[in-house]
Structure 1
Amino acid sequence: MSLRVCVLLPEAYHWFMGCMLSSCKHLTGIEWMQPNTQQEVSSMLQSADVVVSDPVLISSNLDNLSKVKWVHSIWAGVSQVTSSAPFPFILTRHAGSFGILMAEYVIAQIVCRERKLLIAHQNQLQHKWDKTPWSTRQERLLSSLSIEILGVGAIGSKVAEMCKAFGMTVWGLTRTEPTTACPHVDHHRLLEGLPEVLANSDYVCSILPSTPQTAGLLNGDILQNCSKKKSVLINVGRGDVVSEAVLVTAIRHGWLGGAILDVFEQEPLPESSELWSMPEVVITPHISAQCTQECADVFASQLQEFMQGKKLKHTVEWGRGY
């Protein structure tokens, strides 16, 4: 009897099915299913042994997963699923390839800001030759900057590694004491040290997952500690770590020098959001890490382990949310 694997993804990601088939071509005894209509979604999920999907689609189809043995999320974050009551199936999340993608995003945004490349592009659109923005302040080398990484897990460690490669001073903050110290972090602190690290960082990069412990972590007036350096907040983790209202206040009061935001409390970000029109803010639509062939390779490795009856990596603990 074959193993029934249902791949349920948004229409824009249907190309990923080809990646899956390519990565799993060495595995036999698999019946692949990809629904195209809502009726097919229900029937295929109800008959599937394994489901590959994103957390949004998983959470909206939980009633159809009563017979599923294993659900694999192609995203690293799964809060949309774990916010519900625990289900009997095994839930795994993607890990392994997003680190380098998000690290490149962080470095690209820092370089873009420090070298004022967005200003240069705006000038180009206006056919304007103007060196003034580059002559009013001495350029800062990346090696002179410090960055605070909130959440030094697998992804955070990769961001730390790349920042360290450019000579940056790296601060790392975690909820618990790590069993193995990240070699690319110069200064490590636990949550109670948050005010200290905010005060010492030119950039604050949040890679935190969405959990009851991290939601609203940067709310209130904690960002006032950034006033000394006019830190720039980079959020590539989860949007609920800080509210939109707090971000707007922190920028207007000069606590933050700016914000580079890839995730938000509400997605898509509403057109009415004040963040769109703030010149200190850079907005991207949750694209700091996207599906690649490597994502399919990670699943293929997991699928082979599952077929051999082995324990799966990156299994989500419902209580922790990751």
Structure 2
Amino acid sequence: MKKRIMVITQDIGDEYTQKIKATAPDWELIVGKKKDVWAPYANKAEVIAGWKKDLEELSLRESSELRWVQAWSAGVNTMPLEKLASKEIALTSANGVHAYPISETIIGLMLGLTRKIHTYVKNQQEKNWHHAHMNLEMHGKTIGIIGVGEIGKETAKIAKAFGMRVLGVRNSGKEAENVDSMFTPEELHHVLPECDYVVITLPLTPLTNQIFGEKEFRLMKNSSFIINIGRGEIVKEDELVEALQTGEIAGAGLDVFMKEPLEETSPLWEMENVIITPHTSGSTEHYTKRVIEDIFLPNLVHYLEGKLPPINLVDYSKGY
């Protein structure tokens, strides 16, 4: 009898390889990050965990046996969603894996900008003893979380430890724990003037593409900070630069950009009121553990029972 094939395009280690084998003992399991390991099996695989660019050509042919893809990232906007949808291939994301590390980065950027930690690090390197006119604090301020998913909810929980007022924006408008008031995307412009910190945790979809621009920055307080850990394309970068240069907003903490790596010619590199991280906010020592144990293995159990994998199943009509 022909064995069903499962491909994991990541180096997950022996412990998790054995757990997957124990869950699906009758399957042929291919594990490895190098292309020459998984490429020969791509068109024969029924399940693939970890999407690579080359897989579009290799695994989406007419003869493909692919039925389910487990993405290794929370965002799926770079994947061939239309092709996957047309072939009725189930897609699940790694949403939720990043809640702890990204929320820590968000708070770190907020604290860094508020207490001018980045300025003091630079001063330290120059042996410059200077106050830098630092006088702000986070306690009691208002944070607006634009996109209250798992990351947004964890950020709201931490913000409450600072006694902050938390405003949230999500498609459903449904209330969430630690969020004082929830709004829909149509109410975004009512939320922005209230915020001392605007945190973007949205996925990139046709509806979120470039939704932050000059108009939104004008609505924000001159003293407010923007944090973007969602996707660079959500913000009109040239208009963000102008808002920062003219003092329309006070500063920005940015982990994502329109073009990555961020070009050396970008004015953002030289701005005193900007902290840049290189799309690393989701990096964590526990990444593989959370993808495999919290998402992939529970989904695999359902899949083997002939059911759709329920955790983080992507709605192709929404793009996430």
* TM-score normalized with structure 2 length: 0.87
Q: State the Cα distance separating 1:129 from its structure 2 match.
A: 3.3
For 1:97 and 1:57, how far apart are their aligned partners in 2? 24
What is the deviation of 1:137? 4.5
Change (3 A) 1:42 1:78: same
**2:254–2:277 CA contact under 8 A, matched in 1:** yes
CA distance in 1, matches of 2:114, 2:15: 37
Residues 142-177 of structure 1: CA deviation (Å, up to 9, x unaligned):
322211100112221121122123211111012333
Please say if 1:287 is aligned against 2:280: yes
Deviating more after overlay: 91-100 vs 268-277? 268-277
SS of residue paired to 1:304: helix
2:112 and 2:118 in contact (8 A); partners too = yes
Distance in 2 of aligned mates of 1:129 and 1:78: 46
Residue number in structure 2 paired with 1:259: 252
Question: Aligned residue for 1:194?
Answer: 188
Offset at 1:261? 0.9
SS in 2 for 1:221: helix
- Distance, in Å, in 2 between the alignment partners of 1:127 and 1:185 is 42
Q: Flag the 1:210–1:43 CA change in 2: closer, same or farther, 3 A.
A: same
Corresponding position: 1:214 with 2:208 = yes
Percent identical residues: 29
TM-score, normalised via structure 1 length: 0.87
Aligned match of 1:299: 296
The structure-2 alpha-carbon separation of the partners of 1:246 and 1:50, relative to structure 1 and needing over 3 Å to count, comes to same
Within 1, Cα distance between the matches of 2:262 and 2:18? 35
Q: Distance in 1 between matches of 2:127 and 2:304?
A: 60
Task: Say which SS state the counterpart of residue 5 (structure 2) adopts.
Answer: strand
- Alignment partner for residue 261 of structure 2, among 256, 268, 274? 268
Q: Which position in structure 2 is the counterpart of 1:203? A: 197
1:82 Cα deviation from its structure 2 partner: 4.9
Aligned position for 2:67:
69
Q: Contact (CA 8 Å) 1:262, 1:287: kept in 2 or not?
A: yes
> 1:55 touches 1:73 (CA, 8 Å); kept in 2?
no
Q: Does 1:147 align with 2:148?
A: no
Q: Find the counterpart in structure 2 of residue 238 from structure 1.
A: 231
The one-letter amino acid paired with 1:294 is R
Question: What is the letter of the counterpart of residue 153 of structure 1?
Answer: G
Paired residue type of 2:306: G
> What CA deviation, in whole Å up to 9, does each residue of 1:188-229 have, x standing for no partner?
222232222111111110011111111111124221111x34
Tell me what 1:105 maps to.
105
Q: Which moved more, 1:190-199 or 1:144-153?
A: 190-199
Mapping 1:24-63, distance limit 5 Å: 24=20, 26-27=22-23, 28-34=25-31, 38=35, 41-54=38-51, 56=53, 58-59=55-56, 61=58, 63=60
Larger RCO, structures 1/2 (Cα 8 Å, 6+ apart): 1
**Structure 1 pair 61/81, CA: closer, same or farther in 2 (3 Å)?**
farther
Offset at residue 248 of structure 1 (A): 0.7
| 2:9 paired residue number | 8
SS at match of 1:210: coil
What secondary structure does 1:217 align onto?
A: coil
| SS of match in other structure, 1:51 | strand
Letter in 2 for 1:192: E
Return 292-301 or 48-57, whichever deviates more: 48-57
User: After superposition, what is the alpha-carbon deviation per residue over 1:50-72, rounded to whole angstroms, capped at 9, x for unaligned?
Assistant: 10114655556553583111111
Match of 1:183 in 2: 177
> 1:125, 1:224 → 2: CA distance?
35
Paired with 1:19 and 1:263, the residues of 2 have a C-alpha distance of 33
Instruction: Answer whether contact 1:23 1:296 (CA < 8 A) is retained.
Output: no
Which residue in the other structure is 1:120 paired with? 120
